[in-house]
Amino acid sequence: MNGPSRRLPRGSSRSAPAAGRGGFATVAMASLFALLLLIVGAAVGFLAFVDSLPQRPVNATTRTDAIVVLTGGSERVTTGLHLLEQGLAKHLFISGVPPGITREELLRRINLADFSLRHRIALGHAAGNTAGNARETAAWMRRQRYRSLRLVTSQYHMPRSRAIFAWAMPDVEIVPHPVFSEAVRQDDWWSWPGTTKLFLIEYAKYVAAFVYVWLVPSPAAA
C-alpha cells in the first residue's frame, strides 16, 4: 500500500536547485568577464607606458637652479656631473647616496677623483626609494631657495620619478633628463626577457606611485 503523498510547501518549487546553479553560473561568468577586462586594461596600460618612455632628452639646454641625480647606476651620476660642467645649473644634488659615502669617495668610485667642481656637489643620504628621493630633494631645494631642477634618472624610471617629484614639489619646475643604458633594450624590448621584466616591474611601481600620491598628502602642504 502506498503511503500518503507529500505535498510541496506552497511557494516552493522543484526547480530551485537548478535556479541556484544558474545564478552561480551567472556570477562566475560576470567575474570571469571582469577579470578579462582587468587583464586587457593592464596590458593596454603597460603598452602605453612603454610607448611613452623617452627616447632621448627633449630639453638638453635649458638652465635650471639645480641638477638632481637619483642614484641607481653610475651613468646617472656621470651624466649629472657632465651637465654641471656644461654650466646648466648652480649645484648638483645626488639623492639616495648610501650612508657613509662621502663626496670624495663617490667621485673616486666613478674615476673622477679630480673633478674640479666638487664644491658645487651636495649629497643626500636619507632616501631609500623614489618617494624618499622626492622628499629629500624637496627639503634641500627649500634650503637653497631653488625653484627649478633638471631631473636625471634612467628613462624607464622617469615617468614614476616625475609624478612623485611633482607631488612633492608642485611649485618647482622639473626638466626631465633621461639616461640610457646599453643594458636596457628599449627599441625591441619584447625580445629581451631582462628588459621586459624590468619594464613590467617599473609599470607596476608606476601605477602604485599614482595611488601613493593620491592617498598621501604632499609634504609641500605641511
First and final C-alpha spacing in the chain: 88
Contact 88, 67 (CB under 8 A): yes
Query: Following DSSP, what letter does each residue of 125-162 receive, concatenated?
Result: ---SSHHHHHHHHHHHHHHHT--EEEEEEETTTHHHHH
Name the residue with cell 526547480: 15
Determine what percent of the chain is predicted with pLDDT higher than 90: 64
**Class of the CATH-defined domain 66-180+192-221:** alpha beta
For residue 19, pLDDT beyond 70: no
For residue 33, pLDDT beyond 90: no
d(C-alpha 92, C-alpha 152), whole Å: 10
Average of pLDDT values for 96-117? Answer: 88
* Cell numbers for 163: 609624478
Contact 66, 146 (CB under 8 A): yes
Write down the domain spans for the chain: 66-180+192-221
Cross-strand bridge partners of residue 178: 153
For residue 16, pLDDT beyond 70: no
* Cell numbers for 116: 674640479
Between these two residues, 135 and 31, which has the higher pLDDT value? Answer: 135
pTM over cut 0.75: yes
Q: Among 11-25, 32-46, 118-132, 193-207, which is the least confidently predicted range? A: 11-25
For residue 50, pLDDT beyond 90: yes
Give the model's pLDDT for residue 55.
Answer: 87
Average of pLDDT values for 53-81? Answer: 92
CB burial readout 59-89, b (16+ within 10 A) else e? eeeeebbbbbbbbebebbbbbbbebbeeebb
Which residues, including other chains, have CB under 8 Å from residue 167's CB and lie 6 or more apart? Answer: 134, 213, 218
Of 165, 84, 171, 173, the C-alpha closest to 122 is: 84
For residue 214, pLDDT beyond 80: yes
Give the model's pLDDT for residue 21.
Answer: 64
Give the model's pLDDT for residue 24.
Answer: 72
- What mean pLDDT, rounded, does the chain reach? 88
Per residue in 108-131, pLDDT tens? 888 887 788 889 999 999 999 999
